[in-house]
Structure 1
Amino acid sequence: MKFSTLYKSGAFVLLALSATVWSSCQKDGNPNKLPSVSTDTYVGKVDGFNSSEEIYPSNLVAYWNFDNTTNEKISGTASTSGSGNTFITAGVKGQALALNAGYLYYANQFNAFKTAALKSFTVSAWVQILNNGSKKTMLFQLARPTMFNGNINFVLETNSRAATITDAITIHPTFLGQNGGTQDNLNASNGTFLFQSPKIGANVWAHMVITYDASTGIFQIWGNGVKIGVPAYQSRGTGTTLFNSFEPSEVIFGGNYNVIPGKTVSTDTSFGAMTGSIDEVRVYNVCLPDAYIISLYKLGLAGK
């Protein structure tokens, strides 16, 4: 009987110790008392975002979604003139702008693009386009009246390859520095850096982005979520070569002044009015961090 009592007492102690250890282990699993997280919180999100509208919203200064309107959404500014343009239903999000040897022209000074307002920038656009073997394409230009080169020139060298080549396109953007000179970068082979390009096509949406950081002078190009600008060309200096948004300025999609009747500023015929489609054009007054550019690409793929 004594043995039985001792056994029972020992068993009770062991059970008590086990309960204490189990309780202690449970508490140690969350020593900082963090709140529980439900997977439902992230259902339907991309990198934690519900839509592209959540990417740096306070720095988004111009936005064209081309949903049955050419109006810029933030300021409500309507286009002044255009040619060869219509809307298609199969956009990245809703409708998109389709150009057939066409352009859109805004003869307005956007407040967001004034000299004091725009120092760094990001221009993000979704594009359907083919090479053409003859003419360059100006996807977006922050133009200067009477001047051939604008403050920002989002140039696609569609002239450099035949239309049958859809695995490569040269993106060659430029901007104007404070000294009035042109600064550029492009996607090209350079030393050990290999040429990279987004896939393109008449029915293929490609995400193209250019960024500029005024604090470092870095000018970069992105294609489908990948940084593709030549590293050796990206540093454009921080002196008089810093970007300057000269006033007045205007906005042109699909061309420059030389493709707009009555607005020709030079004899240069290297650009043709654009044939292709454009959607979800966003201009930020900041150089977006890499992760956010990648998220913009993923969100676009998801139609968000």
Structure 2
Amino acid sequence: MDNTSFNMVFTLSAFKESKANKYIFFPLTSAVYLVIIVCNLTLIVTILRERALHDPMYIFLCNLCINGLFGTAGFYPKFLSDLLSDSHVISYNGCLLQIFVIYSYSMCEYTTLTLMAYDRFVAICRPLEYHMIMTAHTIGKLILFSWSFPFLSVLIGILLTNRLPLCGFHIDKLYCDNWSVVKLSCIPTTTNNVFGFIVIILSVGHGIFILYSYMKLIPACKKSRDNQKKFMQTCLPHLISLINFTIAILFDLMFSRYGPKDFPQSVRHFLQVEFLVIPPLFNPLIYGLKVNEVRKRILKKHKVTDSLHTRKKR
């Protein structure tokens, strides 16, 4: 079969709820998406406008929030449209685009968290060399890597998937994912599987580096109260974000490949989309509340806004 994008359409797993419940889920989902946008944009704008927050750690945090907006844009608009529609379909090109955005988001989340771990490692373990190592040029190269590696990896994966002739057109998820499309292939998918295995190994390598950095960080923090303070203010939010995202991704992977079919569909759907709900929502909240400098700038901005409104009323 010729995989042309003009007439191929995938059907997605329907959100099997009554129309009344769908009209309840629509405003709730819209509210969640709106909160994600507002929280992430607030942190991004605060970091960009405040010169005191132009340190590497905050720049990487800004990158994490931008990635959160990028990834959720690949899911929420389509899902909200499906909630109001009786047909849950997506075009072949639309499916590949959604795969690109969601997979790039997932990988970029890990690369950014890896860069943040490296930044904290240098700041705490090699404080005298910090500004020599974390120069503007180095930060630029690291951010470029955090996006280019996921984009290139996902693009290669999509090109490998695009060559496959398909013998089915139903995806048992609320969104398109590469594994679901590859399973529909009429021919062996050895090349896709090998490449996927390579990407998984590289991703695990990121995780090993993060673990190594914390193995060095924790002993260093025990020796100094100042380092303990840095750890609680900057490393703890990073660790929470890392654990939060890892658990969400593992839920999706486990249920996509090994999840029982008789599992309640509503629970299965939630576990499949958790990594698109929890991390983008909680990352800005965790950092905004825990990191003192960020919290001070946000509260300061709100105080200035409130005083201006009070003056206008007078």
Q: Which has the higher strand share?
A: 1
- TM-score bracket, normalised by the shorter chain, equals under 0.3
TM-score (norm 2): 0.24
TM-score (norm 1): 0.25
Which structure has the bigger radius of gyration? 1
